[in-house]
Amino acid sequence: MTSSFHAPYTLRRLDGLEKAFWLLNQNRSTHFCTIAELEGAFATDAWLRTADHIGRQIIFASAQIRTDGDGHPIFEIGETRGIPISVVHDDPRTWTDRVEDELSQPIDALVDPLIRLKVIADGTNSTLILTMHHSVGDGPSAVHLIRDILWAACGQLIDVAADVRSLEQAVDDLSMPIKSFPPVRTDALFPPPGFRSADIKRPQVRISSVSSEEVAALRAIARERGTTLHGALSAAAARAFAALKPQHAVVPPRVFSPIDARRRLLKNAENLGAYINAVTVDTLRFSEDFWEDARQFSSKVGLFNDLDVLAFGIRGVRAALAGNPTVAETASVWAHVYGAEILMTNLGALEVGSAYGDARLTGIWGPAVSTGISHEQTLGVASLKGTLRILHTSFEPIDGLLEAMLDILLGQIATR
């Protein structure tokens, strides 16, 4: 993307969710990673050219976040530059350690690049790690950017989607009627969670997967039981958490689910940006029936399939951030409204090609992210070519959570 303005210049103020993530990132780091596994490798020069070419098309690659004279955060655009990239010659299967490294390195939006890349390659296979400040990206836009990077790396000419509107601006442009709805949460009985100690600097990242045959069986059972695979994943994660943390056997853990506004409101827009809303589901008790728990999760998340409800939530975030709240005030509101022990971020079934020149995309993992909530367990879920990949990220990990969750989930097939 090119501009007639002379750097540095102000693009615009940060809007609701962008501002929230900018403030939350100053409380605990909220930048995130999305990972692509490849059979095959590109030359180091190809990666370097690609990072430069793609970065010069993305205005946020040349941005910092500063405050204007009224104290509002702004995107300030500097001289056009590529995306910083490091290419490491190592076993690409060791990428979980590298993601832990990336999440341990905060992004100071005032001075650091808001987007960065790392490639791990051994000459035969490769892993690409895309790290982004959450004010300029979300899981779906990260996947789109990874696709564009891979096409560019194999020599294709790529034009990156260049819309720089905020989510709230995009919703304003739809001219939807303004409606009000009651809150989804029922947690008047629950105190909000706190935030993890700032002394905990490094997360743990673990991975597992579910075969395409098992995924197909689970989807079929979920449909029969009047719920969704996301509902089943949430119920399995909550039950596994409670089994490993007995204090939650009576009061189940809360589950935070981001909602993809691109697909529901914006015709699957592919530009970079934080284009999500979210809902935290809490329950007063577990049911005796696993599928009843799954229905409870999916029904509350499903409320956001109503476009008016989704737009109401997006506008609500903007209203809450309209002034200049402090970092502490924003963190407190976040904990009250969204705070949860489990972050279930589900990218769904990805429509991304497999072949990129001589390389083949074999898996996408993520997002790996944290909002900083105490004892938060993030489960990043993505499905590619039928296989479901689950990435467990936590700064205070519960050992065995992923294994216990999959035991519960896959046990539903055996007892069908």
* One domain for residues 229 and 104: no
Q: Which of the four pLDDT bands, split at 50, 70 and 90, describes residue 154?
A: very high
The whole-number pLDDT of residue 250 equals 73
Domain that residue 345 falls in: 169-414
Q: Are residues 111 and 184 in the same domain?
A: no
Looking up tokens 């935290």 gives: 280
Q: What CA–CA distances, in Å, run from 52 to 49, 136, 148, 153, 273?
A: 5, 18, 13, 11, 20
Q: Which three-class secondary structure state does DSSP give residue 44? A: helix
pLDDT number for residue 385: 95
pTM listed for this prediction: 0.96
Same domain, 364 and 410: yes
Radius of gyration of the chain (CA): 21
Tell me, yes or no, whether 124 and 180 share the same domain: no
Question: Do 146 and 33 belong to one domain?
Answer: yes
The tally of domains found in the chain comes to 2
Q: Which of 132, 164, 196 is the last residue of a domain?
A: 164
Across the range 295-300, mean pLDDT stands at: 93
* Long-range interactions of 275-278: CB distance < 8 A, separation 24+: 275/138, 275/140, 275/141, 275/167, 275/170, 276/17, 276/138, 276/139, 276/167, 277/17, 277/304, 277/310, 277/313, 277/314, 277/317, 278/313, 278/338
281 and 402 together in one domain: yes
Residue 279 lies in a domain: yes
116 and 183 share a domain? Answer: no
Whether 239 and 287 map to the same domain: the answer is yes
Which residue among 133, 164, 195 closes a domain? 164
Query: Is residue 367, in this structure, part of any structural domain at all?
Result: yes
Structural tokens at position 386: 């039928």
Per-residue pLDDT, 182: 66
Residues 341 and 410 in one domain: yes
Give the CATH number for residue 369. 3.30.559.30
Q: Are residues 139 and 173 in the same domain?
A: no
HEC readout, 69-111: CCCCEEEEECCCCCCCEEEEECCHHHHHHHHHHHHHCCCCCCC
**Containing H/E element for 312?**
helix 307-320
Domain end marker among 164, 183, 205: 164
Average pLDDT, the chain: 94
> Considering the domain boundaries, does residue 358 fall inside one?
yes
Please report, rounded to a whole number, the percentage of residues in the chain having pLDDT higher than 70. 97
| pLDDT attached to residue 237 | 97
Lowest-confidence pick of 24-28, 141-145, 174-178: 174-178
Looking at the structure, tell me whether residues 287 and 310 fall in a common domain: yes
Q: Which pLDDT tens digit goes with each residue over 62-106?
A: 999 999 999 999 999 999 999 999 999 999 999 999 999 999 999
pLDDT digits (tens, 9 = 90+) for 270-279: 999 999 999 9
Report the CATH number that the domain containing residue 47 is assigned in CATH. Answer: 3.30.559.10
Is the pLDDT at 190 greater than 80? The verdict is: no
% of the chain residues with pLDDT over 90: 87
Whether the bond between 177 and the residue before it is cis, its omega within 30 degrees of 0, is no
